[in-house]
């Protein structure tokens, strides 16, 4: 039942993400204005906006100008899937605080999905999305250490600093050394959220995962000639995928890694 609700919520929020990204690009007020076709600017009716269903009925084309709809139903399906998977594999339990963190995570996922799409389309991680995300990270850390992992204040501070150093520090260093050539400052800010929410162990895991995912996507791209060495690939989407994986499956990934690498010895 919860999974079903989350799937439906995810579809709606996925749809919202599609609209949000376009309106941010065009610097519009994304709360008041009605959705419109990106080609002919015809205002869309509610029946054009039903997640996935409208897209399928219209065969991916605008009802009015018949050009291809830019917004992919993949966003809606992906957000719905990640919502459901997050519930099924939620690592922090469903105590009262667990639920609050889960709620925060869903909001974070919506922001992350929007950042993913924006970075993919225009190679930029906008601050309007990034700052609320970092805000969630701060609230998250406070709740986490107050209720789920009550340790000495000094340990908390050390953990938070290590978490920030593990991703944001690393990327900040790369940013400084390469003068913004290798990584963008958006990646550094994303690293702040990652460090806060993941902690340093899973933060480092996420950095590693992001590189593995990037490698798996870029190598075939280079081999088939779809990319060249000069293709600029935004790194944000890889970091975002890795963050989701590290939060939900961090323990399992580390355990699997240890058993593969150290299996013969242990």
Minimum CB–partner distance for residue 102 and Zn ion (Å) = 38
Out of 20, 62, 167, 246, the only residue in the binding site for Zn ion (CB under 5 A) is 62
Q: Does 69 bind Zn ion (CB under 5 A)?
A: no
Minimum CB–partner distance for residue 43 and Zn ion (Å) = 10
Out of 30, 64, 102, 147, the only residue in the binding site for Zn ion (CB under 5 A) is 64
Minimum CB–partner distance for residue 62 and Zn ion (Å) = 3
Cα within 13 Å of Cα(47), Cβ side: 3
Q: Which is nearer to Zn ion, 59 or 230 (CB)?
A: 59
Whole-number Å distance between alpha carbons of 147 and 265: 37
Identify whether the C-beta of residue 141 lies closer than 8 Å to the C-beta of residue 195. Answer: no
Q: Which is nearer to Zn ion, 37 or 160 (CB)?
A: 37
Pure H helices in 28-180: 53-57, 73-88, 96-122, 127-143, 153-164, 170-177
2 contacts: CB under 8 Å, gap ≥ 6:
87
Q: How many residues bind Zn ion (CB under 5 A)?
A: 6
Distance of CA 253 to the CA centre of its chain: 19
Whole-number Å distance between alpha carbons of 213 and 242: 8
Out of 65, 149, 157, 177, the only residue in the binding site for Zn ion (CB under 5 A) is 65
Which tokens hold the place of 125?
């991680």
The span of 58-66, 73-81, 96-104, 119-127 binding Zn ion (CB under 5 A) equals: 58-66
User: Mask: binding to Zn ion, 175-194, rule CB under 5 A, as x and -?
Assistant: --------------------
40 Rama sector, left if φ>0, alpha if ψ -120 to 50, beta otherwise: alpha
Whole-number Å distance between alpha carbons of 209 and 241: 9
User: Mask: binding to Zn ion, 8-47, rule CB under 5 A, as x and -?
Assistant: -----------------------------x-xx-------
Minimum CB–partner distance for residue 11 and Zn ion (Å) = 22
The span of 63-71, 106-114, 205-213, 234-242 binding Zn ion (CB under 5 A) equals: 63-71
Identify whether the C-beta of residue 202 lies closer than 8 Å to the C-beta of residue 255. Answer: no
List residues near Zn ion by CB under 5 A: 37, 39-40, 62, 64-65
């Amino acid at each position: 039942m919860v999974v079903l609700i989350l799937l439906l919520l995810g579809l709606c929020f996925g749809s919202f993400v599609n609209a949000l990204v376009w309106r941010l690009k065009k610097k519009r007020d994304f709360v008041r204005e009605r959705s419109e076709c990106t080609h002919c600017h015809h205002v869309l009716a509610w029946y054009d906006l039903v997640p996935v269903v409208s897209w399928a009925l219209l065969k991916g084309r605008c009802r009015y100008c018949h050009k291809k709809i830019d917004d992919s139903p993949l966003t809606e399906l992906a957000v719905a899937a990640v919502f459901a998977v997050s519930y099924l594999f939620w690592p922090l339990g469903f105590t009262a605080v667990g639920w609050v963190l889960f709620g925060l995570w869903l909001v974070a996922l919506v922001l992350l999905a929007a950042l993913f799409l924006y970075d993919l389309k225009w190679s930029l991680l906008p601050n309007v999305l990034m700052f609320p995300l970092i805000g969630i990270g701060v609230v998250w850390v406070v709740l986490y250490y107050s209720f789920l992992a009550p340790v000495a204040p000094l340990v908390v501070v050390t953990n938070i600093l290590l978490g920030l150093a593990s991703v944001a520090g690393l990327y900040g260093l790369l940013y400084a050394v390469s003068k913004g050539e290798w990584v963008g400052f958006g990646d550094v800010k994303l690293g702040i959220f990652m460090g806060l929410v993941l902690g340093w162990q899973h933060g480092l895991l996420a950095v590693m995962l992001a590189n593995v995912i990037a490698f798996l996507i870029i190598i075939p791209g280079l081999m088939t000639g779809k990319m060249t060495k000069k293709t600029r690939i935004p790194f944000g989407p890889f970091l975002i995928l890795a963050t989701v994986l590290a939060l939900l499956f961090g323990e399992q990934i580390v355990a699997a890694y240890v058993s593969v690498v150290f299996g013969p010895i242990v």
